[in-house]
Amino acid sequence: MSDTVRVGFVGLGDIGKPMATRLAAQQAEAGLALSVFDLAEEPVEELVAAGAKAAGGVGALAAGSDVLCVMVNNDEQVRSVLDEVLAAAPEGLTVAIHSTVAPGTPAELEERAARRGVRLVDAPVSGGVMGAGTGELAIMVGGTEEAFAAVRPVLDVLAKKVVHAGPIGAGTRFKLARNLMHYAAFTAATEAQRLAEAAGLDIVALGEVVRHTDALTGGPGAIMYRDTTAEMEPGSFWFTTFGHLRQLAEKDLDFAIALAEELGVDVPLARIARERLAPGLGFPEEQ
């Protein structure tokens, strides 16, 4: 029993509940013992039915845990949970903050936790409800090697991709960069829908095509293989490879913008893409 990692989980919402349910289902196989807490009774009851234990509060949960996972809504709630955790001050505890918080919050929380002998990592997740339920999330972790090692057995149950991004705060910065692309792409999708609708097309079918082809090509991630954003050297591998992409992209963007002008549809993101794709890829500005 001494080898069992006692895991506490706070926050059983849309993402937290399937994450905790995954831990409950895998706890025997993974050498974990799960306890949970949430202000709402129903998800706690569901987790108990799935094999977890219910804690009477955050302090009690922390006092009986080796690793405490926190998945609440915002910075204010994270701070409130940590206040209760540190009041219990269990020796050797490691706290994993899965909530997406402001860039400076993790360092602030780690400093507070360290004063009470508690380790802390920021470990935001990506992959949504589906990934949470199947254990296929990506989790980006900021923190010390020691803290990362302490939470790794838990994260390996929750995620298919675990990245130790760097020191405290690196996980959050990683997540914010990932979500910048996520929501900018959503905004571009709404622009494409308006263009397609104005052209008399079925935008549901357009969505089906986008999901099908992105699954094949990798979507925006397909260009993200360079290890730098610096300008490319003419004649280099990436200069040649992206040269073909640039030609196709600029041609198609020109056509799409012309169609939008014909139909009276405003497409500001398309115009920005036409202007910024080449330098963004790494072509010199004059190319």
Residues belonging to the active site: 175
- Of 21, 18, 19, 55, residue with least CA distance to 36: 55
Distance separating alpha carbons of residues 81 and 59, to the nearest angstrom = 9
Q: CB-side exposure of 14: number of CA atoms within 13 Å?
A: 7
Q: Which amino acid is at 165?
A: A
CB 205: neighbour CB atoms within 10 A? 10
Task: Pull the structure tokens for residue 54.
Answer: 């219910």
Task: Pull the structure tokens for residue 255.
Answer: 């056509």
Contact predicate 61/35, CB 8 Å? yes
Q: Which amino acid is at 212?
A: H
